[in-house]
Structure 1
Amino acid sequence: MARVSQEHLDARRRQILDGAARLFARNGFHATSMQDVLKEVDLSAGAVYRYFTGKDELIAAIVKEVLGEIRAAFADVTRQSPPPPPDILVGLVLGRTLRVWPSLNGDGEPLFPRLMLQVWAETVRSDELAAVLADVYTELRERWVLAVEAYQEAGMMRSDASADHAARTMIAAVQGFIAQQALFGAAPVEVLQDGLRALMSMPDTPERSQLG
């Protein structure tokens, strides 16, 4: 029997992951069965189970890849010191993560937002997944804090502002934009960037000082 190449094995695993991701994003984790996955990827049960023992392992692999891409995207764009301004930084990270998965229906609409929404929902059911997501959030929050501190040291951001609060807000902006994409349809990353620039341009006023 001819030996199967590693390239073939990797391509087959990629085929299964992409097909499962499309189904999970479209129908959710619980409404998708392994039979649905077999039909979507047009493979036999033996071919699929060679790579994944079941749906839970498929979910775990997809979640690991999604979260790993977020980590890698942020690490890549924060290597310079100081990092790009917040609006540029958020756009670079979000733009890269939106390109992780192929479109849902071949129409160019990114699959990532709907898939990410399913991951967030699944953490309510799975303590193990919730712990993984919490670890990633903690790591990313620490990285964003370092980015904010670099902005402050470079004079790009007020030094008396809480770095942690600014980091949480930038994370929330990204999460909210992903949720909007999943719920209400695709929008260019420039929408978020323009909005952040508008908010960043607001001058200090006596009223804001009193509220602060």
Structure 2
Amino acid sequence: MARVSQAHLDARRRQILDGATRCFTRNGFHATSMQDVLKEADLSAGAVYRYFRSKEELIAAIAEETFTSIRGAFETAAQQSPLPTPDLLLAEVLGTILETRAGDPAAGPRDFPRLMLQVWTETLRNEELAALLRRGYEEISGLWVGLVAAYREAGMLPADVPAEHVARTLIASAQGYVAQQALFGGVDPGMLRDGLRGLMSMGGAEPTTPR
């Protein structure tokens, strides 16, 4: 029997994950069955179960892949020199992630945000996913704390606010963008960039006197 190449195995796994992602995005985790995934991926049960023994394993794999892509996009953006300001960095990270998900021809602009919202909800009942989310959050938070130190060293940020507080606020901004895009649509990373830039400039603006 001919030996199957690693490239073929990787492509088949990608095919399964893309099909499952489309199903989960369209119908949600709990309304999607493994039969739905088989049909969407156009594969036999044996082909799919060789890689994933259950729907829960599929959900965990997609969640881990999503967190990994977020962390990778963030690390790449944070390695730039000169270091971009938070508004530019966050918009770049979100734009990179959305472009990556758009690699699937069947993906829409709200697919990734909807998937993330489902993952966050699933962590409330799935301890394995919750632990994965906590690790991802700690990694991203640690990166932001390091960036805050770099901003302070460059004279771009005062030292009177704890770095963790700044990190949490910026992560919350990204999470809020994802939630708005998932629920309402019509939001692009440029809006987050412009909004943050406006808020960042408030300290230098002259207050107006109410009439």
The TM-score with structure 1 as length reference comes to: 0.90
Partners of 2:86 and 2:150 lie apart in 1 by 11
Report matched runs for 1:30-179 at 5 Å.
30-80=30-80, 83-102=83-102, 106=106, 108-179=108-179
Q: Secondary structure, in 3 states, of the residue corresponding to 1:194?
A: helix
Work out whether residues 25 and 111 of structure 2, in 8 Å CA contact, stay in contact via their aligned partners in 1.
yes
Query: Which residue matches 2:184?
Result: 184
Q: Which of 81-90 and 35-44 deviates more? A: 81-90
Say whether residues 1:14 and 2:14 are aligned partners: yes
Percent identity (aligned): 60
Following the alignment from structure 2 to structure 1, what is the Cα–Cα distance between the partners of residues 99 and 66?
11
CA contact (8 A) 1:77 1:89 kept: yes
Structure 2 SS opposite 1:68: helix
> 2:25 is aligned with what amino acid?
A
**Does the 8 Å contact 1:82/1:150 carry over to 2?**
no
Deviation at 1:157, TM superposition (A): 1.2
Letter in 2 for 1:73: A
1:101 deviates by 2.2
- Aligned-pair distance for 1:15? 0.6
Unaligned stretches of 5+ residues in structure 2: none
Displacement of 1:107: 6.7
Structure 1 residue matching 2:101: 3-state secondary structure? coil
Distance 1:20 1:102, change over 3 A: farther
d(CA) in 2 for partners of 1:61, 1:45: 18
DSSP 3-state at the match of 2:191:
helix
**Counterpart AA for 1:131:** A
8 Å contact kept, 1:91–1:189: yes
Secondary structure, counterpart of 1:100 in structure 2: helix
Once the two structures are TM-superposed, the CA of residue 206 in structure 1 deviates from its matched residue by 10
Gaps of 5+ in 1: 208-212
CA contact (8 A) 1:70 1:97 kept: yes
TM-score by length of 2: 0.91
Q: 1: distance between equivalents of 2:59 and 2:199?
A: 37
> 2:110–2:185: 8 Å Cα contact kept in structure 1?
no
Tell me if structure 1 keeps the 8 A contact 2:98–2:109: no
Aligned partners of 1:87 and 1:196 also within 8 Å:
yes
- Per-residue CA distance 1:95-129 (angstroms, 9 max, x = gap): 11122324888374242111100100000111121
CA distance in 2, matches of 1:142, 1:47: 39
Which residue does the alignment assign to 2:201? 201
Matches of 1:196 and 1:12, distance apart in 2: 41
Q: CA offset at residue 81 of structure 1? A: 5.8
- Deviation of 1:144 after TM superposition, in Å, equals 0.5
Contact 1:117 1:182 in 2 (8 A): yes
Contact 1:18 1:102 (C-alpha < 8 Å) held by counterparts: no
